[in-house]
Structure 1
Amino acid sequence: MDSGYDETLKQLMDDFHSSIDVDRRLFRVDIRGSIAYARGLVRIEVITDEEGQAIIQGLTEIEGEIERGDYKLTRDLEDIHMAIEKRLIAKVGPTGGKLHTGRSRNDQIATDERLYLREAIDEIITLITACQQALYQLAERTIDVIFPGYTHLQQAQPIRFAHYAMAIFSELERDKSRFSDCRKRVNILPLGSGAMAGSAFPIDRTFLAQELGFDGLSPNSIDGVSDRDFIAEFISHCSILMIHVSRACEDIVIWSSTEFGYITVHPRLATGSSIMPQKKNPDAAELLRGKSGRVIGDLITILTVLKGLPHAYNKDMQEDKEPLFDALDTVSIGLSVFTALWQSMAIRQDRVIKSMDDAMLATDLADYLTKCGVPFREGHGTVAALVDESINRSCGLRDLPVATYQQYSEHLDERAVALLQFDESADKRTVPGGTAREAVVEQLAWAKEILGVKA
C-alpha cells in the first residue's frame, strides 16, 4: 500500500474523529472526576499515597494551565481525556499513566457529562427562578389592569394582566419541576463501569459517588456506559421550556404591533430597519421564537443519533455533545433575554381600553340569564343573537337600547345591562386560579411562597 496514501488516510481520520473542539469545555469536570478516581486508586492500593498526591497535584496544575491558555488544546490531542492524560504524563512521568487503571474513556465521558449537566441544570433552574421573579413583580404592578383575554386570537373574556403574567409563571414552574426531576436521573454515577463489563479492579464506587456528590450508582455497567437518556431528557425539557418561551413571545410580538399597541418593549430589546426610519422591531421576542426551533432541532439530533445504536458504547455517541451544549447555551442566553422582556415591559392602558370589545361580556349576559332560570344553552343562543344584532347595527353590545334587549328576553332589563362591566366580569371569576382580583392575589401568594419573597 502506498505509504503516502496511508498517511493521508491517517490524517483524514484523525481530523474526522477528533472531538476536542467540542468536548474541551468538559475539562474541569474531567479533572474533577480524575482526582476522585486517583483517590479511589489509592484506597485500593493500586497506586501509593505519593503517586496519588503527584497525580492530583499535576491535574490541579493542568486545570490552571488550560484556564490561562498556557496548555493549548489542539486537534491532534483527539479528545479532552487524552489531552489531559498526555499532559499529566509529561508533568509527572510514567506515574501519570497509572491513572487510567481499570477505567475506560467510556465510563469517563459518561461521568463527565453527568457532572457537567448537573451543574448546568442548577444554573438553568436559577435562571428560570429569576424570570419568575420578573413575572411576579410584573403581576404585582398590573393586578388592576384589565386586559382582553384571547382564544383563537380573538377577544374572548376580560382578564387581569396579572392573571396572564401568572400563567407564564405557572408554565415556568412546571419547567423548573421537570429539570429538578431530571437532575435526579442525571446524578447517578457510571464511573467503575469500565468499557462495558465493569472494572477488573475492586474500585470503591460508593466512595467515588461520595467524592463527586452523586446520589447513587448505575446498577448495570452496560447501561452505565451506553445510557444517554439523561441527555435526551434534558434537551426534551429544554424544548418544552423554549416552546413556552416562544408562545409568550408570539403574544409580545402581536401585542407590541401597530395594530394592537397594547405593550411596549424596551428600546434596547428592539431594533430598527436599515431602510425604514420608523421601525422598532421586536427582535428579542422574534429571535427567542426562532431559537425554540433550534432547540427542538437539538432534540431531534440526539434522538436520531441514539435510535439505532446497539449496546453498549458506540462512536456515534461522540455526537451527543454538540446538541447538548447548543441547547444549553441557547436556553441560558434565551432565559436572560426573556426575563429582560418582562422586567422592562410597559402596558399602554389607553390602547387596551380603547380596543376592548363589548362582545367579551356576552358570556356574562348568558350567565345572568341562567341565574334567572333560563337554561344555559337557551341563554347562549339568545345572547349570540344579541351579538349579531350589535354587529349588524355596527355598535357595541352595551350600546344596544334596553328595548332591544327586552325583545330577546324579558329578563334583560336596565339592571342587567348595567352589570356589563369589564372589571366586574373579571371579578366574577373567583374560583381558585381564576382572574378575579381575589383569585389573582391567591396566585401571587403562591408565587411569593415559591420565590421565598418576604412580606
Structure 2
Amino acid sequence: MNKSSLSVPLDSSPLPLDDSSDRVSPVILWHKKTRMAAVESKRAKLWGGRFVGSTDPVMEAFNASISYDKKMWKEDIQGSVAYAKALLKANLLTETECNNLITGLEEVEKEWEAGTFSIQPGDEDIHTANERRLKEIVGEVGGKIHTGRSRNDQVAVDMKLWLRGHLVDISSHLVNFIQVLLERAENEKEILMPGYTHLQRAQPIRWSHWLLSHVWPAVHDLERLTGLYLRVNVCPLGSGALAGNPFNIDRQSLAEDLGFEEATENSLQAVSDRDFVVEYLFWASLLSSHLSRLAEDLILYSTSEFGFVKLHDAYATGSSLMPQKKNPDSLELVRGKAGTLTGNLCGFMMVMKGLPSTYNKDLQEDKLKLFETAEVLAGVLQVMAGTVQTLKVNADACRRALSEEMLSTDVAYYLVKKGMPFRSAHEKAGEVVKLSESLHCSFSSLPLSELVKISPLFTEDISSVWNFEHSVEQYQADGGTALKSVNNQITRARKFLTNFSLA
C-alpha cells in the first residue's frame, strides 16, 4: 500500500498507539503521528470550538499562510500592543493585565528578532502563531488580546502597516534612481545624439535630454506614490469580523497610536478592502514599465550596431560558448520583471472581481502578490540605478550617428522663418532631401544654385542650418532639448526631490 493511498480517519475509533513493540505496523505509526499532530493543531486554532474531529492534513497545509505572512510578524505585534492599550482604555483590561500582555508581546518580538521563534504545526498564520506564543508566556490572560478583534481586521491592519513601511523604503530607492539620472544629465549636457521615432533617426537631441525623458515618468511615479500612501494610511483595526466592535473601542485613538491619519468609515468595507493592494500592484507595474522602456533603449544603445554606451562588468554577463560576448543581463532582467509584476496585478484583479461583501478566504492571495512584487521592485530599482550610474557613454559614437538628413525639419523651419507656410515649407524640404539623394551628396554640399531652383527664399545663410548645435539650440521652449531647457528641467526635478516626503 502506498502512503499516498492512506486516508486520515477524522472521526473513527481510536487506533492502537502503543508503539513499544518492534512489530507495530508502519501504517499504524503513520496514523498515530498524523492524529497527534492534528490534535495539537486543533488546540492551537483560534476557531476550532464548534468543529468535531481534525482537519485533513492536505487541507491544513492548503489553508496555512504562515510560510509567507510571517513576514508581517513585527506589524502583527505592533497592532496587538496598540490594541491591548485600547482594551485598557475601554476598561476591558486591568493595568496589570495590559502590562503583562505588552511585556509578553515584547518577548515574542525578541524571539522573532533573534530568529529563535519556533513555528508550531497549528500555527496556520502569523496571528495564530503570535497569540499562541503569547499565551505560553503570560498564560490565559493572553486570550484577552483578541477581545472584539477578528483576524479579518487584524490582517488588514497588519498589511497596511507593512505596506506603509515598504512605501517609505521603495520611495528612497526611486529617489536614488532619479538622482542618478539627474547627475548624469548634469555632467553630460554637451553630448549630442540622434533622437528616434519608430526606431528611425529623427532629429538631433542632447544625451542629457534623453536621460531627462526617463526622469519625468519616475517623478510622476513618486507623485502617484504620495496619493497611494494617503489611502494606505487609514486604520481598519477595530472593525471586528464585519459588523464593528461592540466594546466601545476608541478607534480614532487606536489609529493615532499606530500612526494612521484616520480610521476607516465602514466595518464591512474595512475587512474586505484590498484596493490599496491593487493600487500598489498597479503602481509597481506602471513604474516597472517605465524602467523596462529605459532598459530597452539601453540594450539597443549598448549593441555594436549603436555603440552609444558600454555597461560596467558588474551589470553584465558573458556567454558559456562565445568568449567575446558581453550580455546586458541586468537590463534584460529589468525588462522581464516588468512582465512578472504586471502579471501579479492582473492575477489579483481576477481574484477580486467577483467576491461577495466582506472577508473571503480568496483574499489570502493578496500577500503572495504583494510580497513578491515588493521584493522584485526593490531589486529592479537598485539594479537599474547601479547600471545607469556605472555605464560609460561614448560621446564620439553618439556624434557619428548624427547625419545631415536629420536636419530636414530644420530646412522647413528655415523657410517658415522667411514667411513660407509650414505645409509648403515641409514640401520644399522634401524636395531638398530628394535633391541630395539624386546628387549623392550631403545637405551641406548642395549648391546654392540648385537650392534656389526649389525656392528663391534660400540664400547664403542656409549654411547656418547645417549645424547640429544650432539645431538643438533652437528648441528653447520649456521641455525642449536646448541647453537652457535642459538646465531648467534639472532644476525643477531637483526641487521636486528636495520637497518630496511621504510622511
TM-score normalised over the length of structure 2: 0.87
The code of the aligned residue for 2:92 comes to V
* Counterpart in the other structure of 2:237: 191
The code of the aligned residue for 1:413 comes to T
* Counterpart in the other structure of 1:409: 455
Distance 1:78 1:29 in 2: 17
Distance 2:196 2:398 in 1: 13
* Counterpart in the other structure of 1:432: 478
Distance 1:398 1:286 in 2: 40
Distance 1:59 1:301 in 2: 36
* Counterpart in the other structure of 1:213: 259
* Counterpart in the other structure of 1:254: 300
* Counterpart in the other structure of 1:299: 345
* Counterpart in the other structure of 2:102: 56
Distance 2:285 2:161 in 1: 21
> How many Å apart are 1:3 and its aligned residue?
5.8
> How many Å apart are 1:9 and its aligned residue?
6.0
Distance 1:415 1:128 in 2: 47
Equivalent positions of 1:34-113 (< 5 A) are 34-74=80-120, 76-113=122-159
> How many Å apart are 1:308 and its aligned residue?
0.7
The answer to whether the 8 Å contact 1:18/1:76 transfers is no
Distance 1:276 1:163 in 2: 36
* Counterpart in the other structure of 1:134: 180
Distance 2:400 2:189 in 1: 19
> How many Å apart are 1:264 and its aligned residue?
1.2
Moved more, 100-109 or 345-354: 345-354
The code of the aligned residue for 1:19 comes to S
Distance 2:307 2:156 in 1: 50
Structure 2 residue 374 is matched with structure 1 residue 369: no
Distance 2:365 2:324 in 1: 45
Distance 2:478 2:121 in 1: 59
> How many Å apart are 1:392 and its aligned residue?
4.2
Instruction: Report the CA distance shift for 1:256/1:395 in structure 2 as closer, same or farther (over 3 A).
Output: farther
> How many Å apart are 1:424 and its aligned residue?
0.8
Structure 2 residue 309 is matched with structure 1 residue 263: yes
Instruction: Report the CA distance shift for 1:9/1:396 in structure 2 as closer, same or farther (over 3 A).
Output: farther
The answer to whether the 8 Å contact 1:21/1:75 transfers is no
| Aligned alpha-carbon RMSD (Å) | 1.5
> How many Å apart are 1:139 and its aligned residue?
0.4
The code of the aligned residue for 1:334 comes to V
Instruction: Report the CA distance shift for 1:345/1:75 in structure 2 as closer, same or farther (over 3 A).
Output: farther
> How many Å apart are 1:377 and its aligned residue?
0.5
> How many Å apart are 1:167 and its aligned residue?
1.5
* Counterpart in the other structure of 2:217: 171
Counterpart of 2:371 in 1: which secondary structure?
Answer: helix
The answer to whether the 8 Å contact 2:203/2:407 transfers is yes
* Counterpart in the other structure of 1:24: 70
**Unaligned segments of structure 2, at least 5 residues:** 1-6, 12-34, 36-53
Structure 2 residue 6 is matched with structure 1 residue 4: no
The code of the aligned residue for 2:420 comes to V
The code of the aligned residue for 2:383 comes to V
> How many Å apart are 1:386 and its aligned residue?
1.8
Instruction: Report the CA distance shift for 1:75/1:304 in structure 2 as closer, same or farther (over 3 A).
Output: farther
Counterpart of 1:77 in 2: which secondary structure?
Answer: coil
The answer to whether the 8 Å contact 2:219/2:493 transfers is no
CA offsets, 1:197-253, max 9 Å, x none? 001111110111110000111100000001000000011000000000000000000
Distance 1:102 1:365 in 2: 76
Counterpart of 1:156 in 2: which secondary structure?
Answer: strand
* Counterpart in the other structure of 2:281: 235
CA offsets, 1:300-337, max 9 Å, x none? 11101101100010000001001111111111010001
> How many Å apart are 1:438 and its aligned residue?
0.7
Distance 1:242 1:75 in 2: 38
The code of the aligned residue for 1:373 comes to G
Structure 2 residue 196 is matched with structure 1 residue 157: no
* Counterpart in the other structure of 2:492: 446
> How many Å apart are 1:75 and its aligned residue?
5.3
Structure 2 residue 282 is matched with structure 1 residue 277: no
* Counterpart in the other structure of 1:121: 167
Equivalent positions of 1:303-318 (< 5 A) are 303-318=349-364
**Unaligned segments of structure 1, at least 5 residues:** none
The code of the aligned residue for 1:403 comes to S
> How many Å apart are 1:39 and its aligned residue?
0.5
Counterpart of 2:56 in 1: which secondary structure?
Answer: helix
CA offsets, 1:140-197, max 9 Å, x none? 1111111111111111111111111111111111000111110100000111110000
Counterpart of 2:122 in 1: which secondary structure?
Answer: helix
Structure 2 residue 369 is matched with structure 1 residue 290: no
* Counterpart in the other structure of 1:357: 403
TM-score normalised over the length of structure 1: 0.96
The answer to whether the 8 Å contact 2:166/2:374 transfers is yes
> How many Å apart are 1:414 and its aligned residue?
3.0
> How many Å apart are 1:5 and its aligned residue?
6.2
* Counterpart in the other structure of 1:146: 192
> How many Å apart are 1:102 and its aligned residue?
0.2
Distance 1:410 1:74 in 2: 90
> How many Å apart are 1:352 and its aligned residue?
1.1
CA offsets, 1:357-413, max 9 Å, x none? 212111111011011111110110111122233334444333333333222122223
Instruction: Report the CA distance shift for 1:3/1:148 in structure 2 as closer, same or farther (over 3 A).
Output: closer
The code of the aligned residue for 1:448 comes to R
The code of the aligned residue for 1:4 comes to P
Counterpart of 1:452 in 2: which secondary structure?
Answer: helix
Instruction: Report the CA distance shift for 1:5/1:49 in structure 2 as closer, same or farther (over 3 A).
Output: closer
The code of the aligned residue for 2:488 comes to E
Counterpart of 2:244 in 1: which secondary structure?
Answer: coil
The code of the aligned residue for 2:94 comes to T
The code of the aligned residue for 2:243 comes to A
Counterpart of 1:191 in 2: which secondary structure?
Answer: coil
Instruction: Report the CA distance shift for 1:414/1:141 in structure 2 as closer, same or farther (over 3 A).
Output: same
Count residues in correspondence.
Answer: 452
* Counterpart in the other structure of 1:384: 430
